[in-house]
Structure 1
Amino acid sequence: MIIIPAVDIKNGKCVQLVQGKPGTEQVVIDNPVEVALKWQDMGAKRLHVVDLDGALDSGANLEIIKEIVDKTDIPIEVGGGIRSIEYASQLLDMGVETVIIGTMAIKDPSVIEKLSQKYGSERVCISLDSKDNRVVTHGWQQSTDKTPLEYAQIFEDKGAGLILFTNVDVEGLLDGIDLSAAKNLIDNVSIPVIYSGGITSLDDLKTLKDINADYVVIGSALYRGLIDFKDTLEYED
């Protein structure tokens, strides 16, 4: 299992939102690039960068993302507002290791197939955000009629190399995790699953390791001091 610190960017700053809702910023740090370098210096093997402005269709932070890619030496996965194959390709071509695609792929699953054929499946991650066991899109604003597992099986067949599973019901609340949907996903797909949402303690990491999560994204708990990142490294493989 690999622990991945989250670097969420909004209005050019590193922030943590509650339930992804604008106006609920709990942490605001001026320089996301410095934050990314700090996590790398502490031993992070990968970074999870989310363009919240892109996800909410209110702009993009491409220049900051490029600076993070240029100044760090570890793989960077990027999600948020990737609404075209051209933009996904732009990110991959500038050195982003993995693009995380949600809304666009739900609308047109063939984009995953096209990108994985061009860049390799290991660089293409399907984002499945779950609320009430249904996948939600457009920055968690719209609900679909399929479960995370139903979509996961579709996108596995389309060539996705990774699945990012975010449990919206618990994300950002710092109230622990609900693993039923995640375990169902991990047990029934063959590609790696990145878990995100609600991680509050080291016990949560132990639980995720026990159900064979491949990667775990941590955001609020790190930024608010509930978990020391160095302590998470003992749960890595």
Structure 2
Amino acid sequence: MTQFRPCIDLHAGKVKQIVGGSLTDAGATTNFVSAQGADYFANLYRQHGLQGGHVIGLGPGNEEQAKLALNSWPKGLQYGGGINLENAKSYLDAGASHVIVTSFLFSGGVFSLEKLNQMVKLVGAEHLVLDLSCRRTDQGWNIATDRWQTVTGTAITPALLEQLASQCSEFLVHAADVEGLQQGIDEALVSLLGKHSPIAATYAGGATGLDDLEKVKTLSNGRVDLTIGSALDIFGGSHVTLAQCIAWNQANGQ
């Protein structure tokens, strides 16, 4: 059944909420910067039993904050951001339940099955989340790497979801075109994931509140979870409170 999943987004060593499509090497349009460290939010999620949240490092300078969060709730959070064969195990050792991987799997924008097999061999499919974050294209949605700056030639299709499902435990999909805008979810993408993902999937991007949780539940037949970021009160939002999201989970079978 559809659940709310929490997040901790890190940029330049701070917990932030940004407009995803604005992210470049020079910076990003920022909705919120927290005075609290990542461990504060990890402990908050732990207190309320909000399993399966993701910590994402957007660019360099986030390792210290990421590991503070992971150490605060061992096996309670996933981590993604620059994951490769050299550092993946260090994040699992720091307390991540899973590592989240995208950019490492692409060379020059081309998907590498060899690299995926190497990552699976290193950490195990049960500890791997594939980040299929994407942008809209003429093909539908194509996976975007390098902080969503590079749109690859790999489209999210039923066949791709089927192919990758045996190599990981979950999919995480940020709709980068609507990420942080608080203008509503990409309904067609949620429907695609709900209909064709053989494994657990979490969607993020554009959500404003409980109405979007209801919408994701309906569109995906309860098979896709939803992350809410910028709209949430703990991140400076005014559309929905963390307490309301916790109540939603409790009412929907957490």
Match of 1:81 in 2: 82
Q: Structure 1 residue 110 and structure 2 residue 82: aligned?
A: no
Q: Structure 1 residue 227 and structure 2 residue 245: aligned?
A: no
Match of 2:56 in 1: 50
Query: After TM superposition, what 4+ stretches of structure 1 lie above 6 angstroms from structure 2?
Result: none
Count of aligned pairs between the two proteins = 230
Aligned equivalents of 1:228 and 1:213: distance in 2?
A: 23
| Matched residue SS, 1:221 | coil
Checking the alignment, whether the CA contact within 8 Å between 1:46 and 1:75 is kept in structure 2 is yes
Aligned equivalents of 2:99 and 2:3: distance in 1?
A: 18
Structure 2: 5+ residue runs without aligned partners?
none
Shift of 1:170: 1.2
Match of 1:25 in 2: 30
Match of 1:131 in 2: 135
Aligned equivalents of 1:181 and 1:6: distance in 2?
A: 20
User: Please, which of 187, 204, 210 is the counterpart of residue 202 of structure 1?
Assistant: 210
Aligned equivalents of 1:215 and 1:111: distance in 2?
A: 27
Aligned equivalents of 2:75 and 2:240: distance in 1?
A: 22
Amino acid at match of 1:230: A
Identity of matched residues, %: 26
Structure 1: 5+ residue runs without aligned partners?
54-58
| Matched residue SS, 1:146 | strand
The worse-fitting range, judged by mean Cα deviation, of 182-191 and 172-181 is 182-191
Match of 1:38 in 2: 44
Pick closer, same or farther for the CA change 1:104–1:96 going to 2, 3 Å.
Answer: same
Checking the alignment, whether the CA contact within 8 Å between 2:134 and 2:176 is kept in structure 1 is yes
User: Please, which of 167, 179, 185 is the counterpart of residue 171 of structure 1?
Assistant: 179
Q: TM-score, normalised by structure 1?
A: 0.88
Checking the alignment, whether the CA contact within 8 Å between 2:41 and 2:69 is kept in structure 1 is no
| Matched residue SS, 1:100 | strand
CA-atom RMSD in angstroms: 2.0
Shift of 1:197: 0.7
Aligned equivalents of 2:90 and 2:147: distance in 1?
A: 21
| Matched residue SS, 2:133 | strand
Shift of 1:117: 3.9
Aligned equivalents of 2:72 and 2:42: distance in 1?
A: 9
Shift of 1:44: 2.1
Match of 2:165 in 1: 156
| Matched residue SS, 2:43 | helix
Pick closer, same or farther for the CA change 1:106–1:153 going to 2, 3 Å.
Answer: farther
Amino acid at match of 2:45: W
| Matched residue SS, 1:225 | coil
Checking the alignment, whether the CA contact within 8 Å between 1:209 and 1:235 is kept in structure 2 is no
Checking the alignment, whether the CA contact within 8 Å between 2:75 and 2:96 is kept in structure 1 is no
Checking the alignment, whether the CA contact within 8 Å between 2:178 and 2:206 is kept in structure 1 is yes
| Matched residue SS, 1:235 | helix
Pick closer, same or farther for the CA change 1:38–1:95 going to 2, 3 Å.
Answer: closer
The worse-fitting range, judged by mean Cα deviation, of 114-123 and 165-174 is 114-123
Amino acid at match of 2:104: M
Match of 2:96 in 1: 96
| Matched residue SS, 1:136 | strand
Pick closer, same or farther for the CA change 1:192–1:204 going to 2, 3 Å.
Answer: same
Aligned equivalents of 1:39 and 1:27: distance in 2?
A: 19
| Matched residue SS, 1:220 | coil
Aligned equivalents of 1:110 and 1:197: distance in 2?
A: 30
Pick closer, same or farther for the CA change 1:47–1:87 going to 2, 3 Å.
Answer: same
Structure with more of its chain in helix, by fraction: 1
| Matched residue SS, 1:86 | coil
